[in-house]
Amino acid sequence: DPKKEIIKMVGKKLEKQGYKIYAVDFSDTKKSVGWNPLSFAYKLAHRVPEGHPKWEDNMNEAISEINNVVEQLKWGNNSDGNPMWVDNAKLIVNVVAQFLLLLSIDRPDLLPERHFNLQSVASMCNLDTWNPKQKWISICYINAETNKRYYWAELFKNVKTIANIVPETLTGNLSHTTSALKNFTEDEFIKRLTRETKSFDLHGIVSSNEPYVIFIHYPDHKPSNHFLVSMLIDQIYQALIDCANSKEDLKLERKFFFMLDEAGNLPPILNLDNKVTISRSRNVFFQLVLQDYNQLKKYNTSTNHNVDSIIRSNLQFTYFLNSIDEKTLSDLSNSLGKKEVIKKSTSKSSSTSANGGSSSESESVEEKPLMSVAEIKAKNKEYAIIQKIGFLPMIVKTKLAYKYFSNDNYVFECDETENTVNESWNYQDLPDVELPVRNPIKNYDQLNDSSRAKKAREESLNKELNYKKVQKKLILEMQNARGSIKELSEYKDKISEWPKLALAWQKILSFQQKYKNKLSSELVNDFTKSINICLDQMNDIKTAGAKT
């Protein structure tokens, strides 16, 4: 509801019917609940204590949610076309966010929930953070190498990868992270709104028994923050699916409707094609308000040019008001189908004779569009065309919704940012850590070097054993082949292949002299091939002689 037109009309009516109203307002923090994009991942990871049977599943979901948030940040384009810069930048943000999450589980006193946000992540996206002597890297090392904890070990692999990037390249990667996170560091309004989640606990909201409605307001004239709207829609959907999966029939007990006005003007919603494909089976429904079908083409990718068609085919109810896009009008006309039209033709002839003239009539049946593009364009604005799978199309005269409701001028009041302390978290305030090694990154490399050396020795031994097997096989082939040479030599003047055989044999001798009696499979193959040709020619000669 970008301009708050809907909430003004129906807010009071919803409250009277028992709905709990939440509003995330990207244009006015004084009329908004707080929403931290990383809060959903935090709640997942902290839902049950470590060691609980469901903890690992929850952790995996939390890490997946962090990936989703990172993927939906504004990454821009690679200036040189090399995806490595952005890919590494995403990895950096992911690693830092996962470190903060694991730290919040082990030591909530060092990282309370209010500091698990993208501002804290941004504070660690600088070159000095990746100095191997930093305390946070030591914490990762101890938990990964000394304590042998799985999630820390997986994290430390990536920490080591990033820390070993040359400073010049790492600086370029970090510039991309700074750009992607600048909304959370430079925009004071967004910083206040996204610092902390209080009442807007998505898991609690979608699991509650009371009816609820979530309004999302945003300035449609400021597209720089629109990616946050798409991200919030994705998080609401993930919370709904998480709730549905906890049910025996994998469905929500009550239907949930996404009513997305101006949906075509938003950045792509993550995996929208997948969402609309499976959502109905979970009791989740999407209504997209578009200006024309072209607004869905932004979902097409370089590898899949039909994502917009997938989305359209899964939206089974079309309510058409108006559009000026010719392609949209043409698609609608075609989807309405054809009608049969009877065409009558009459011809007359006149005559000055007493018999008078004559006339004839003929009929033919033609197919025409049920409504042509021109007819759809000229449609009365009070009429709407409705299409639903399984039913014939309809055209109905109807009032638009806003004409049915009086404007209540409802205003949502909930300033959760008013008492938010404007404090930042500093990774350098972490406690000193006593390490069993001087440099965790270097020591880790030494461990890896030792492991790689062991693996190389094993590969070398396997290669040598395999080489000996090949040599043994080649020697056997040579012995079998040489057994035929004595008989072949009796016909050498008549065998045209004999010079090639002699040359192949000479190459083998030269190779053995050079490489200490070793054999080359390629040369042996040439030699045996020539012998087989010689044998065929010798047999032909013998056969011809017998006939003579």
pLDDT digits (tens, 9 = 90+) for 199-216: 999 999 999 989 999 999
Q: What is the pLDDT of residue 437?
A: 60
Q: What is the pLDDT of residue 402?
A: 77
- Could you report the per-residue pLDDT of 382-410, keeping only the tens digit for each? 899 999 988 999 999 988 877 887 888 99
DSSP annotation of 431: P
Confidence of residue 372 (pLDDT cuts 50, 70, 90): very high
The number of residues in the chain equals 548
Q: What is the pLDDT of residue 309?
A: 93
Q: Given the structure tokens 């461990």, which residue do they identify? A: 447
- Could you report the per-residue pLDDT of 85-133, keeping only the tens digit for each? 999 999 999 999 999 999 999 999 999 999 999 999 999 999 999 998 8
Q: What is the pTM of this model?
A: 0.75
Q: Do the beta carbons of residue 481 and residue 528 sit within 8 Å?
A: yes
Q: What is the pLDDT of residue 548?
A: 46
How many other CB atoms are found less than 10 A from the CB of residue 31? 18
Q: What is the CA radius of gyration of the chain?
A: 38
Q: Given the structure tokens 């609690």, which residue do they identify? A: 204
- Could you report the per-residue pLDDT of 418-454, keeping only the tens digit for each? 665 567 899 989 988 776 666 667 654 454 445 455 5
> Among 87-101, 341-355, 473-487, where is mean pLDDT lowest?
473-487
Rounded to an integer, the average pLDDT of 526-542 is 82
Task: State what percent of residues in the chain have pLDDT above 90.
Answer: 58
The two most distant CA atoms of the chain are separated, in Å, by 126
> Among 1-15, 103-117, 281-295, 499-513, where is mean pLDDT lowest?
499-513
| Residues in Cβ contact with 419 at an 8 Å cutoff, skipping those fewer than 6 apart | none
Separation of alpha carbons 546 and 548, rounded Å: 5
DSSP annotation of 265: G
> Distances in Å between the alpha carbon of 502 and those of 482, 498, 515, 531, 532?
12, 6, 20, 10, 13
- Could you report the per-residue pLDDT of 135-147, keeping only the tens digit for each? 999 999 999 988 8
The top-scoring range by mean pLDDT among 19-23, 50-54, 416-420 is 19-23
Q: What is the pLDDT of residue 442?
A: 62
Q: What 3-state class would DSSP assign to 401?
A: helix
pLDDT at 468 over 50: yes
Give me the residue spans of the domains in the chain.
37-196, 323-378, 441-547
Q: What is the pLDDT of residue 8?
A: 93
Q: What is the pLDDT of residue 459?
A: 61
The top-scoring range by mean pLDDT among 60-69, 72-81, 299-308 is 60-69
pLDDT at 217 over 70: yes
Mean pLDDT across the chain = 87
Rounded to an integer, the average pLDDT of 471-476 is 66
Backbone angles phi, psi at 266, to 5 degrees: -85, 155
Euclidean distance between the first and final Cα of the chain, in Å?
102
Please indicate whether residue 449 or residue 535 has the higher confidence score (pLDDT): 535
Q: Given the structure tokens 């925009």, which residue do they identify? A: 187
Please indicate whether residue 424 or residue 17 has the higher confidence score (pLDDT): 17
Q: What is the pLDDT of residue 45?
A: 95
Separation of alpha carbons 318 and 389, rounded Å: 9
Please indicate whether residue 78 or residue 455 has the higher confidence score (pLDDT): 78
The top-scoring range by mean pLDDT among 136-145, 493-502, 504-513 is 136-145
Separation of alpha carbons 448 and 467, rounded Å: 28
pLDDT at 356 over 80: no
Map 180-224 to HEC letters. HHHHHCCCHHHHHHHCCCCCCCHHHHHHCCCCEEEEEECCCCCHH
Q: What is the pLDDT of residue 159?
A: 95
Rounded to an integer, the average pLDDT of 307-328 is 93
- In DSSP notation, 332-366 reads HHHHH-EEEEEEEEEEEE--SSTT--EEEEEEEEE
- In DSSP notation, 68-130 reads HHHHTS-----TTS-THHHHHHHHHHHHHHHHHHHHHHH-TTTS-GGG-SHHHHHHT-SGGGG
